[in-house]
Structure 1
Amino acid sequence: MGGLTYIDFLAKFGIGGAHPGGFSLTKNMLLQEKITQNSYILDAGCGTGQTSAYLYEQYKANVFGLELNPIMIEKAQNRFQDRQLPIQLVQGSIEQIPFKDETFDFVLSESVLAFVNKPKALKELFRVLKKGGRFLANEMTINKKLTSQEETEIKEFYAVDSLLLEEDWRKILKETGFHDTKLSMHPLDFVNGNTGQEFNFSANFEPELFGILNQHGNILVKYHDILSHRIITCTK
């Protein structure tokens, strides 16, 4: 497949709301929080900027987007410029966040931690949150332990280093220092009502990316009772 990955597919297709539950679940998650125009919010791994744009347009908050992928950065930048949104976009990794300690009231991460070193990234997210700040995430989980063959197949396709059960997430969040942790699981048919998904295709995307899309679909079907996602909320 010429070394192309699932992340390349997301970037070239310019998918917004690619995470499970889609954009409607994001909006619902944000509704539960006390976000105001005085809030400082980091959209960590902001992708093409769909959620960042919504955060500013809905709440007039101080929004910062952090993204590593250059294609996604360009698409997010174009979105913010087209809509004249005063969102600060920074290229960087959530494993080494280029912001000072205790900068943000809220940090949001949607299907980002799955693809990085989780303990390292969570320490960084914790560091940049103010005391009493809130961490909100929508992340991949597994519902039961996998065989080593199943685990290898999923990890190799998505290029992830680990697959966590709900109790693994609880443990790692507690070890990081978070408290008031809540995890909620949403039925997978919630994904089917994903009206917020959008596409912003790159001019030059490789035909092999359709193969990655197909493989992604096959994995979701094959592991529909094992692969899941949780909404995670916790406080520093």
Structure 2
Amino acid sequence: MFKRDPFRIEEILNGINARKDLVKRISKITEQRDLEILDVGCGILGSKFVNMYSERFPKTKVWGLDKRFYEEEKIELDFLFDRKMVKDKIIADARYMPFREECIDLAYAGWIIPHLVIENNGSYEIAKECYRVLRKGGLFVVEGKTIEKGITEKDLLEIGYQRFTKIQEYGIGQVFIGVK
């Protein structure tokens, strides 16, 4: 169980406020408010950003994709986060997603890229696979610290993303947004 460290709780609250701002920014970018979202590497609870977006726009359809789902995660994280569990869970490798081409409006990869950097495994393939499942004009949102070690702007442009924005002012690390 986590200890209730006041500095950690403050960091989490800053992250929540930053994500609320990110939800506002993303909703301004997207013309269609109720989206079909893929939460890549979501864990059992789903990412806070995706939960916040779907609360703001209730008709949003969320798919949660991860290699595995552990019930223990929910028990340990419950007191820190007010999250719904991911309803539509898909157990799959994010490098080989079981989706047809161009069926998702927004692919969100929160902190999976930094994990892959540590494992030295697959961040480019995940960005490429997200591109495959995104509809034209869809968004690929990547969040985390040390993202640039896992995937670069050059990589995203090579895959085919038309525009790519790096936002650094967030308390949640770096946020990159690629547009198909």
Q: Do they superpose with TM above 0.5?
A: yes
1:49 to 34, 46, 53: 46
SS at structure 2 position matched to 1:234: strand
- Report the Cα offset of residue 58 of structure 1: 1.8
Deviations 1:81-126 (A, max 9, x none): xx88884121122111121111111111111122231111111010
Q: Is the 8 A contact 1:55 1:63 kept in 2?
A: no
**Within-5 A mapping of 1:31-180:** 31-34=24-27, 36=32, 38-47=34-43, 48-51=45-48, 52-60=50-58, 61-71=60-70, 75=74, 87-116=87-116, 117-141=122-146, 163-164=149-150, 169-180=152-163
Deviates more, 1:47-56 or 1:100-109: 47-56
Q: Is the 8 A contact 1:41 1:104 kept in 2?
A: yes
Deviates more, 1:101-110 or 1:111-120: 111-120
1:235 counterpart letter in structure 2: V
Deviations 1:130-184 (A, max 9, x none): 01111111132279xxxxxxxxxxxxxxxxxxx35xxx61111111111211102
Q: Is the 8 A contact 1:105 1:130 kept in 2?
A: yes
Between the two structures, name the one with larger relative contact order (CA 8 Å, sep ≥ 6).
Answer: 1
Seen in structure 2, the aligned counterparts of structure 1 residues 70 and 122 have a Cα distance that, compared at 3 Å, is same
In 1, distance between residues paired with 2:105 and 2:97?
15
Seen in structure 2, the aligned counterparts of structure 1 residues 185 and 37 have a Cα distance that, compared at 3 Å, is closer
Seen in structure 2, the aligned counterparts of structure 1 residues 98 and 186 have a Cα distance that, compared at 3 Å, is same
TM-score by length of 1: 0.55
Q: How many residues align?
A: 155
In 1, distance between residues paired with 2:106 and 2:72?
21
- 2:19 corresponds to 1:26: yes
Task: Report the equivalent of 2:8.
Answer: none
- Report the Cα offset of residue 56 of structure 1: 2.4
Q: Is the 8 A contact 2:107 2:141 kept in 1?
A: yes
Deviations 1:8-38 (A, max 9, x none): xxxx86xxxx99x633322221211235553
Q: Is the 8 A contact 2:46 2:84 kept in 1?
A: no
In 1, distance between residues paired with 2:84 and 2:130?
28
Seen in structure 2, the aligned counterparts of structure 1 residues 55 and 184 have a Cα distance that, compared at 3 Å, is closer
4+ residue segments displaced more than 4 Å: 83-86
Q: In percent, how many aligned pairs have the same letter?
A: 24
Seen in structure 2, the aligned counterparts of structure 1 residues 73 and 24 have a Cα distance that, compared at 3 Å, is farther
TM-score by length of 2: 0.70
CA RMSD of aligned residues (A): 3.3
Q: Is the 8 A contact 1:56 1:87 kept in 2?
A: no
In 1, distance between residues paired with 2:147 and 2:46?
27
Q: Is the 8 A contact 1:43 1:63 kept in 2?
A: yes
2:169 to 186, 193, 199: 186
